[in-house]
Amino acid sequence: MRVLLVEDDEPVAESLRRGLQRYRFAVEWVSTGHAALAHEDPYDVVLLDLGLPDTDGLDVCKALRARGEVPIIVISARGDETDRVVGLETGADDYVSKPFGVREVIARIRTVMRRVQPRTAVDSGPDRYGPRLTVDREAARVRLDGVEVALAPEEYDLLAFLTEEPGALMSREQIMEAVRDGNRFGPAKTLDVHVAALRRKLTGAITIEAVREVGFRLEVVRESSASAPEQDGSGA
């Protein structure tokens, strides 16, 4: 996933860039509105600071929106409600206020991408996690050792969410917010039931660790590390 980050505050931009890269986002960073509008490489989502040195971020937002459907998430130090409303009216898809954590930003990106996925074709082909597991996000299919695994819709959503950031600790709130139709997901207890089902169905391919009073962390089991230490996705 490619992110265009428009932010003039260097420490903020740098930490956000590092954080996003850790989760395998490709980040193009520009520090002015002019550079944002001049940027021609394709990207999947824009993170747009409103307080830019050369132009009003809202004008940049408007101009980007006039060009197409790329999702825009406004980031601002001005945490007031007017900004939020104006940002959304100007065509932004979502809004985060400083200070924010990288996980919050990622959760927003994910939510926004899920919303726009039908209109923007994102990466195709299944994602590979270790030697045994693949998740085909377009077909919503999961395979273990090449054999399709039957998952309930909630189980699939949960797996698709947790595999977007293997190793990251995701809170229950983030999970409930990110999965499709969070309300239908039912009471918090149900989440544990789905986690248990995934553990059972995908034993040996992933582990899901419960972190008390916080949430869950998925890890990919990489058995083949002895023969090939960096076997990520290029599998022949």
Footprint of Ca ion (CB under 5 A):
8-9, 49, 51
Which of 111, 86, 219, 117 has its CA nearest to residue 163? Answer: 219
CB of 101 to Ca ion, least distance (A): 18
The amino acid occupying position 45 is V
CB of 75 to Ca ion, least distance (A): 9
Which residue lies nearer to Ca ion by CB, 6 or 102?
6
Give the integer Cα–Cα distance in Å for 220 and 231: 12
CB of 8 to Ca ion, least distance (A): 5
CB of 49 to Ca ion, least distance (A): 5
CB of 97 to Ca ion, least distance (A): 13
Which residue lies nearer to Ca ion by CB, 50 or 168?
50
Q: State the sign of the Cα–Cα–Cα–Cα dihedral 2, 156, 136, 24.
A: positive
Kindly report the number of other CB atoms within 10 A of residue 140's CB atom.
12
Give the integer Cα–Cα distance in Å for 109 and 95: 10
Which residue lies nearer to Ca ion by CB, 13 or 20?
13
Which residue lies nearer to Ca ion by CB, 51 or 91?
51
Structure tokens at 167: 């190793």
Which residue lies nearer to Ca ion by CB, 86 or 197?
86
Residue bearing tokens 């960096």:
230
* DSSP letter assigned to residue 50: S
